[in-house]
């Protein structure tokens, strides 16, 4: 069946089938086929992996902030772990966000007016990217022996991602507005 035929049967949102492009405010439906679900599955997989990095990186900072000034080997080992984790998290973030953009702009889910949940989600996504940038700066501080924060501060800092993660998941699943 053609995209026009599917649209005629009421299957809105078939943006990858429909030459007229994404439909504003589409939700998942049969016309999107299984490709939409595959993209969404891998969006969730890469989001989970990215956030695993965002949960663990500040834990390394907690340990770095507790290292005794004369424990050079321990400090270097933790710094190496933090650098590798930060770089890997960056790659995971790019893939996760790219897949999210495909769902949004490619399939048209959450696109356009009347999708407050998506707009709120995008604000929180920007906040999460900002958090990752803060992690990069704190890492540079540790590398330059210029850290100004206590391990308690990093424990609280660590909780920010939990709140961001919970809020974003509620927005995409419950879609409260
Ligand atoms: C550029 C950033 C992002 C865009 C454009 C985006 C877009 C989307 C879209 C359009 C959907 C499909 C919603 C549906 O099928 O109802 C989705 C699903 C989802 N997104 Fe994102 N997303 C982004 C980032 C994130 C982030 C940072 C998280 C972190 C928690 C996240 C978590 C999820 C989850 C858990 C789902 C599955 C929801 C469900 O199936 O009910 N996304 N995303």
pLDDT, tens digit, 9 for 90 and up, residues 49-98: 999 999 999 999 999 999 998 999 999 999 999 999 999 999 999 999 99
Q: What is the pTM of this model?
A: 0.86
Residues with CB under 6 A from ligand 1: 28, 40, 43-44, 47, 97, 100-101, 103-104, 109-110, 125, 128, 165, 168-169, 172-173
Q: Check residue 97 and give its pLDDT.
A: 98
Q: Which of 161, 145, 158 is nearest to 64 (CA)?
A: 145
Distance CA 33, CA 28 (A): 9
Alpha carbon dihedral 157, 54, 47, 81, in 10-degree steps, equals: 180
- Conformational region of residue 2, where left means phi above 0, alpha means psi within -120 to 50, and beta covers everything else: beta
């Amino acid at each position: 069946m053609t995209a026009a035929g599917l649209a005629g049967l009421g299957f809105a949102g078939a943006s990858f089938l429909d030459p007229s492009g994404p439909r504003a405010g589409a939700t998942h439906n049969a016309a999107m086929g299984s490709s939409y679900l595959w993209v969404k599955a891998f969006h969730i997989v890469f989001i989970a992996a990215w956030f695993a990095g965002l949960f663990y990186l500040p834990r390394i900072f907690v340990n770095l902030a507790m290292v005794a000034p004369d424990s050079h080997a321990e400090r270097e080992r933790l710094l190496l772990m933090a650098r590798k984790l930060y770089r890997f998290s960056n790659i995971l973030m790019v893939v996760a966000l790219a897949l999210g953009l495909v769902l949004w702009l490619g399939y048209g889910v959450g696109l356009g007016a009347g999708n407050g949940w998506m707009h709120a989600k995008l604000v929180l996504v920007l906040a999460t990217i900002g958090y990752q940038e803060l992690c990069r700066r704190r890492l540079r501080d540790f590398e330059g022996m210029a850290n100004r924060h206590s391990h308690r501060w990093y424990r609280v800092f660590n909780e920010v991602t939990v709140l961001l993660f919970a809020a974003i998941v509620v927005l995409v699943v419950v879609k409260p507005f």
